[in-house]
Structure 1
Amino acid sequence: MNDDNKKVNNAHDTFFRQSLSHKQVAREFFEKHLPRYVLNVIDLNTLKPEKDTLSDPGVGGGAVDVLFSAKFNGQDGYLMLLTEHQTTVDYFMALRLIKYKLMIWERYRAENPKSKKLPLIYAFVYYTGKQQYTAPVDFFELFDQPLLAKMFLTEPFNLVDLHRTPDEKILSNVKWEKHRQIPSFGKKQRDRKGKLNLGEMLTIIVMFHLSGFRDFKNFYLYGIKHKYQDCFKELPCYERFVQLMKTLFIPLCILLQSLKGERTGIYVVDSTSLAVCSNLRIRSNKVFAGLAARGKTSTGWFYGFKIHVVTNDKGELMARIAYIYWHQTQYEKLSSSTD
């Protein structure tokens, strides 16, 4: 970037910051550009410009140009805005935003040492470049496996508290964890090796959805155990396999993620129900108790899960959009509307 362009951009940044320093101008800007769900929780009457801006040479030499504090549902929060005026798009802008948010949280902790909660931060990027903005706006698109990355970064961390675990249990778990393949889900099980490996179990699940069978029990008993028994080492009984199906949720999501296709600009959205039992057996079903819920499709009510899939025009699955979704909320809404 030559000196003339730098002067123009610096003048533009100065004008932009000075304009937003006026509360009414800032309020009109945020009312126009904030999504509805944010406007529903933020109190724009509490907008307050923060005097200190943040900068970090380690993340592209950029800086937070505008930082406002505000109340979100009565709690502390911030609106953060960066201007992006570089001639080339910063591909790792989403990473820079994460870095700035961490800096804001650290500063908030220093200023509020007694607070046990962190403030909400909503980020803007104000792009003024002439080129089309092509960098990922989703932080998790920076990973080859965005679904796993989101799980690792957003799910609770795994706590192993040795001081609260008896020595006998630690020593017994060393042998137990070495041999077992399937988690016990809190139930006492025999110390035995799994009859099927993860790949074989996933293969059976995929075969079921391609087979045309309407219920898994008939498919497993008369399809797998009768027709394809030679393809698997040692098939467990139907009841045992249904118990093992609980362990396949995350591996199935990872499998779907690995089958992602290329972006073609043409996409098809579809969904299908995954019923775990007939409607007459809902009350007696214990396998997916606490997980499955009532849902409705164009063919009627069911009890189980629903999977939503987006494909491109080549029939390939798109990344990060295949997931299993519980229908409890929709069922409660439909039930309340019919009362």
Structure 2
Amino acid sequence: MARRVAAFKQQVKERHEQKAEFHPHDALFKLFLRQPDTARDFLAFHLPAPIHALCDMKTLKLESSSFIDDDLRESYSDVLWSVKTEQGPGYIYCLIEHQSTSNKLIAFRMMRYAIAAMQNHLDAGYKTLPMVVPLLFYHGIESPYPYSLCWLDCFADPKLARQLYASAFPLIDVTVMPDDEIMQHRRMALLELIQKHIRQRDLMGQVEQMACLLSSGYANDRQIKGLFNYILQTGDAVRFNDFIDSVAERSPKHKESLMTIAERLRQEGNNPKPCI
């Protein structure tokens, strides 16, 4: 126990020493980069030329970065500039790394900064995401800078990460999925079928499919109860009785439980319980 306490105190001491070391770097960095003319020169030399060409540097404006989480500031200081571009408002986020030992996940941290800036932009009332250009200013001991600044390289499998995050995300759109295909989806079929058709005025066209899926035995009693409660709450309540009666008649295995569910839901009337 004593060793753990001593180790913890040492960690706290080292952390305070690190923070004390950061302050001079932080102060000097911001002294220069918060001056518009200095920032313009900095960006003229270091911002990628195609991006610089899109920016109106006369509109460069220092912004608050107080929305950044405190834990992200532990080892870094930052300056955030807004700038008008040909595509609308944009931001240039410059980060200075104070640590003498480089962080191999810095690219992921920079993505977190950039996304936080995007969210702050949306919170201000804008309807589209802004371009946020993260820049890392490095003056550490190890030279040259040893790690990739592509955040996708932070993954154990960068190739797979690029396949996932450099293209559109997978979409399961049941609104365009054929019913015959849905019927093959085993334990998901009941959910997908009903949520595809729930906005139809009449669900009677799905009676045979529902009965078939119930007979497959993929859904448990709680799921079946929740399903019909959901239909009552969200679907066409006027024909709900006809629907559940028809499904029950075609599902001998579940007929008794379905009729019990139907009776309970009828008794609840217009105040059905949540589907849980």
Return 5+ residue gaps in structure 1 as ranges: 175-339
Return 5+ residue gaps in structure 2 as ranges: 1-13, 187-276
SS at match of 2:136: strand
1:150 paired with 2:162, answer: yes
What one-letter code is carried by the residue in structure 2 that aligns with 1:40? A
What one-letter code is carried by the residue in structure 2 that aligns with 1:82? L
Paired with 1:8 and 1:134, the residues of 2 have a C-alpha distance of 22
Q: Give the one of 49, 57, 72 matched to 1:36.
A: 49
Deviations 1:79-135 (A, max 9, x none): 00111111211111011011111111111111125x1x2000111111121222212
1:120 paired with 2:139, answer: no
Distance 1:62 1:109, change over 3 A: farther
Q: What's the CA shift for 1:136?
A: 2.0
8 A Cα contact 1:69 1:76, kept in partner = yes
8 A Cα contact 1:50 1:68, kept in partner = yes
SS at match of 1:124: strand
Structure 2 counterparts to residues 16-55 of structure 1, below 5 A:
16-55=29-68
8 A Cα contact 1:64 1:100, kept in partner = no
What one-letter code is carried by the residue in structure 2 that aligns with 1:138? C
Deviations 1:190-241 (A, max 9, x none): xxxxxxxxxxxxxxxxxxxxxxxxxxxxxxxxxxxxxxxxxxxxxxxxxxxx
Higher helix share goes to which structure?
Answer: 2
8 A Cα contact 1:82 1:125, kept in partner = yes
Indicate the residue corresponding to 1:129 in structure 2.
140
What one-letter code is carried by the residue in structure 1 that aligns with 2:22? N
1:111 paired with 2:124, answer: yes
SS at match of 2:56: strand
Distance 1:79 1:166, change over 3 A: same
Distance 1:105 1:151, change over 3 A: same
Q: What's the CA shift for 1:51?
A: 2.5
Question: Which of the pair has the greater relative contact order for Cα pairs under 8 Å at 6+ separation?
Answer: 2
Higher strand share goes to which structure?
Answer: 1
Paired with 1:76 and 1:143, the residues of 2 have a C-alpha distance of 31
What one-letter code is carried by the residue in structure 2 that aligns with 1:70? V
Deviations 1:23-55 (A, max 9, x none): 111101110111211122111111111033444
> Which TM-score applies when normalising by structure 2?
0.56
What one-letter code is carried by the residue in structure 1 that aligns with 2:97? E
Cα RMSD, aligned residues only: 2.5
Paired with 2:105 and 2:15, the residues of 1 have a C-alpha distance of 23
Distance 1:60 1:25, change over 3 A: closer
- Greater Cα radius of gyration, structure 1 or 2: 2
Q: Percent identity?
A: 27
Structure 2 counterparts to residues 67-78 of structure 1, below 5 A:
67-78=80-91
- Count of aligned pairs between the two proteins: 172
8 A Cα contact 1:78 1:120, kept in partner = yes
SS at match of 2:61: strand
Q: What's the CA shift for 1:9?
A: 3.3
